[in-house]
Amino acid sequence: MRINKYLAASGVASRRECDRLIEEGKVSVNGFRATLGLEVDEDDDVCVNGNKVVLKKNEYYILNKPKGYICSVSDDKGRKTVMDLMPQNVGRIYPVGRLDYDSEGLLVMTTDGELAQKLTHPSNEVPKTYLVKIEGTCKENDLNPLRSGIEIEGGYVTKKCKAHIVETNKAYTKVHITITEGKNREVRKMFAAIGKEIMLLKRIKIGDLSLRGLDRGAYRKLTKQEIAYLENL
């Protein structure tokens, strides 16, 4: 990997700051002054100001977030955060994307900033599937405005999405909806735009990565295959 990425992944500083350290001659590789763009790996002897830098391996988890937790590393209002559900010895881990306080479901937690950027950047259109429970009955035709793109609060028109009913009765209807963007409270605003109030909102998939077998509030490490899958989404 490039030297600035190596240094940033090791916790030295941001990539931009690492570039500055390289330009100032404070970084060496195998005893020689490093240059911008130099490729290195974990077998190389990398030093900053004469101190050896050890590449830290990234951590990757999947968390089944319950309601009542915010997706943040801290909260100045004293509310519970998803960090309260995670082990305390995993380094600078943080949530990828957000689920609001009243929503639950699949959340990726990682120390890998590059992967987080890939999964959340709108241009990558990573599909995210939600289980939505709304009050009362609903017909497939009622979901057509959502599928086509609908104007929500603020005048924004959502992208086309997939949506279908999985269960319905007089009391409630359950819908699976898959979107490829991540505007703040987007799914809630989409259903509000068609006059439907959400009783439950749960993210159940990111791409093909699912919550299968993971209890509410529980977490597990991602497998190598799952990490590779997310990197290629």
Query: Rounded to whole angstroms, how far apart are CA atoms 101 and 199?
Result: 13
CATH number given to 127-206: 3.30.70.1560
The predicted pLDDT at position 90 comes to 73
Q: What is the pTM of this model?
A: 0.81
Q: Specify the pLDDT at position 105.
A: 98
Q: Tell me how far apart the alpha carbons of residues 51 and 45 are, in angstroms, rounded to a whole number.
A: 10
Q: How far apart are CA 19 and CA 34, in angstroms?
A: 10
Q: State residue 39's pLDDT score.
A: 94
pLDDT value at residue 52: 93
Query: From the candidates 43, 100, 112, 142, which is the catalytic residue?
Result: 100
Q: Which two tokens stand for residue 165?
A: 């009913």
**CB-CB neighbours of 206 under 10 Å:** 23
Q: Which stretches of the chain score pLDDT less than 50? A: none
What pLDDT score does 73 carry?
87
CATH of domain 60-123+210-231: 3.30.70.580
Predicted confidence at residue 13, as pLDDT, reads: 86
What is the per-residue pLDDT for 42?
82
> Per residue in 74-122, pLDDT tens?
888 889 999 999 988 776 788 998 899 999 999 999 988 888 988 998 8
The CATH superfamily label for domain 3-52 reads: RNA-binding S4 domain (3.10.290.10)
pLDDT of amino acid 60: 94
pLDDT at 11 (0 to 100): 77
84 an active-site residue?
no
Q: Where are the domains of the chain?
A: 3-52, 60-123+210-231, 127-206
Residue 89, pLDDT score: 75
